[in-house]
Amino acid sequence: MTAVEPPAEHLEIPRDLHDAMVAHCVRESPRECCGILGGVPPRVSSFHPLRNELASETRYRAHSQDLIEAIVSLRGRGAGMLAIYHSHPRWQAIPSQTDLQDNYYGPLPRIIVSLLNETPDVRIWRLETDSYQELSWRIIEPTDSRADA
């Protein structure tokens, strides 16, 4: 299996991994945070929080060593990246122009977690150079999930 899986039509995210992802976003606020969800399409089976080496409130760039370690871990389990996530601490869960311009992983789904309201808003997108499309997803009950936090 490759490090980047073909995009699934929809993602299935176990509740505990969803909650860990959102907690990571909340914990890093007001800075943007980032990470990846891994597994075998369409089911997410691991959560990999990454350091934002920009430490910015409006931009992110995954720390390269963190990303390498996450990909090695995924490959070791026969899994791949299913989605990249990042937070918008003070903006809606809609892709920004920067998100579109910095789309280095093509059709890989992008999860945006907005912290604008008391209850975080989680949405998933497929990004193009100048457009985006919302993707379907659902929370499922945990099985044998592994959080690599």
Catalytic residue among 5, 9, 32, 69: 32
Within 10 angstroms of residue 133's Cβ, the number of other Cβ atoms is 11
Q: Is the dihedral of CA 13, 70, 3, 127 positive or negative?
A: positive
CA atoms of 24 and 101, how far apart (whole Å):
24
Q: What whole-number distance in Å separates Cα of residue 118 and Cα of residue 101?
A: 29
In the annotation, is 53 catalytic? Answer: no
Q: Which residues form the catalytic set?
A: 32
